[in-house]
Structure 1
Amino acid sequence: MPEPRPAILVVEDEAPIAETIVYALQTEGFVPRWVTTGRAALTELTIPPAVALVILDIGLPDANGFDVFRQIQQRAPTPVIFLTARASEVDRIVGLELGADDYLTKPFSPRELTARVRAVLRRVQAVPTPAGPVAANAAPPATAKVWTHDVERCRISYRGQPLTLTRNEYRLLAVLLAAPGRVFSREQLMAQAWPDPGAALDRTVDAHVKTVRAKLRDIASDADPILTHRGLGYSLREES
């Protein structure tokens, strides 16, 4: 039985651009679903079959694309490629720091877009958990009572409560969780937690650590399990 074709959600309010994207995706064997607003995108994500990837315009008529991205990730981590009419480096950095998988500036080649869609889907399928010298599925005995890591389901719980993490937040925390007490440099974290380390920046790691810390404090306001080692990097506190 043939594999089902991946469904791609296109969130773009400019019809000529959206129609070009839809045609390119159909030509490459994908199943595109097109909406024009952030609100419609969030609704579309609840309708089966599940969306494999979202192509998201930053400048939507009813919402900022970055805000829509955050809401998408809160529901279920889904690969996202941002589209924007602005070529500002600041926009690119913000998008990647939030956890976006790729970023394209208009105008762009439809062929390049579909190639990037395929590349992102390959990375997501090939890297379900962090890879590298630290095995993410190694159960850390020193933190076993505080943390629970279900590697098969890519779920991490803290003090008995499951964490809602973006894909990159999960990978980052899984690397730290695999070796409590070990200090990881930003370069090491990027190499092990990011599918494309070349696209990440030092500040990207810092931004993700900040958001993970905030989610941990939502569970325990006094929680500070991720330690900062100035000039060196980060480690996970050894807890029993």
Structure 2
Amino acid sequence: MRLLLVEDDDHVAAALSAVLARHGFEVTHARSGEEALTALLPAAATPFGVVLLDLGLPDQDGFEVCGRIRKISATPVIMVTARADVRSRIHGLNLGADDYVVKPYDTGELLARIHAVSRRNAPGTGESATEDGTPKDALRLGAVTIEPATRQVSVAGTAVPLTRKEFDLLALLAQRPGVVFRREQIISEVWRTSWEGTGRTLEVHIASLRAKLRMPALIETVRGVGYRLVVPPAPAGATASPAS
């Protein structure tokens, strides 16, 4: 796997690159936000599997870099920083980071997190499509169609763009429609953390999903417990509009 390490400290980068190389990673080192963004441009020869992003960069704050990365690339981002406060963690996750590791960290844990985010974002097996062109592994929930392999969602045939975490959250709830997922379980599965402060982040993502899908009743809040996905009735025709 190719890995982009965004770190301005050459000594730290050299030590970490050596460890990663011993575990089979091909590491590219970027010393600034602009170097990282250039390396991630679509014109790059081979895509990266994961970005390790330090927040204390010389040219711009790592949070800003993460936001800009999300505009040009879907590559998983793991923030690696000494900023341990909950507010920074939540801010990073809201900006689109897939994980957040606080320095000093255990190398084994970092490697495990790299493999975890790469597994979650691995492409599907390329199964053939059905007669209407929808992949066989797609989930159909009333007017909502979820395609895990391509990470695409549509409502009544209209594509709905979702962020990485919004898709992961919807896909998790869609695995067992009608079943209540505890808040702690959702945070653990989607954000891979048990931080108490992540609760507000979950609420923000639920609200965003309801708004983007234009189906506020799709995700039901079970007070004091968590959330569940309520399967809406199928539209009375292929061109039916989603519920408002």
TM-score, normalization: structure 1? 0.71
In structure 1, distance between residues paired with 2:52 and 2:149: 27
Larger relative CO (CA 8 A, sep 6+): 1 or 2? 1
Q: 1:49 to 1:208 in 2, by over 3 A?
A: farther
Q: Which residue of 2 aligns with 1:230?
A: 223
Percent identity over the alignment is 29
Q: Which residue of 1 aligns with 2:205?
A: 211
Amino acid of the structure 2 residue aligned with 1:163: P
In structure 2, distance between residues paired with 1:150 and 1:138: 4
Q: Which residue of 2 aligns with 1:104?
A: 102
Residues 31, 57 of structure 2: 8 Å contact kept: yes
Aligned residues: 215
Bigger shift: residues 6-15 or 63-72: 63-72
Q: 1:227 to 1:75 in 2, by over 3 A?
A: farther
Q: Which residue of 2 aligns with 1:18?
A: 13
Mapping 1:138-177, distance limit 5 Å: 139-140=139-140, 143-145=141-143, 147-159=144-156, 160-166=158-164, 168-177=165-174
Residues 163, 215 of structure 1: 8 Å contact kept: no
In structure 1, distance between residues paired with 2:146 and 2:81: 36
Q: 1:67 to 1:119 in 2, by over 3 A?
A: same
Mapping 1:188-207, distance limit 5 Å: 188-190=185-187, 193-194=189-190, 196=192, 199-207=193-201
SS at match of 2:145: strand
Amino acid of the structure 2 residue aligned with 1:86: R
- Residue in structure 2 matching 1:30, options 20, 25, 29: 25
- Residue in structure 2 matching 1:56, options 53, 56, 62: 53
**How far did 1:49 drift?**
1.0
In structure 1, distance between residues paired with 2:218 and 2:179: 13
SS at match of 2:113: helix
In structure 2, distance between residues paired with 1:100 and 1:40: 21
Across the aligned residues of Structure 1 and Structure 2, the Cα RMSD in angstroms comes to 3.2
In structure 2, distance between residues paired with 1:139 and 1:29: 35
In structure 2, distance between residues paired with 1:178 and 1:23: 40
Residues 182, 236 of structure 1: 8 Å contact kept: yes
In structure 2, distance between residues paired with 1:209 and 1:195: 13
Residues 152, 159 of structure 2: 8 Å contact kept: no
Q: 1:21 to 1:96 in 2, by over 3 A?
A: same
SS at match of 1:63: coil
SS at match of 1:60: coil
**How far did 1:138 drift?**
7.8
In structure 1, distance between residues paired with 2:120 and 2:78: 17
Residues 185, 232 of structure 1: 8 Å contact kept: yes
Amino acid of the structure 2 residue aligned with 1:16: H
Is 1:71 the counterpart of 2:68? The answer is: yes
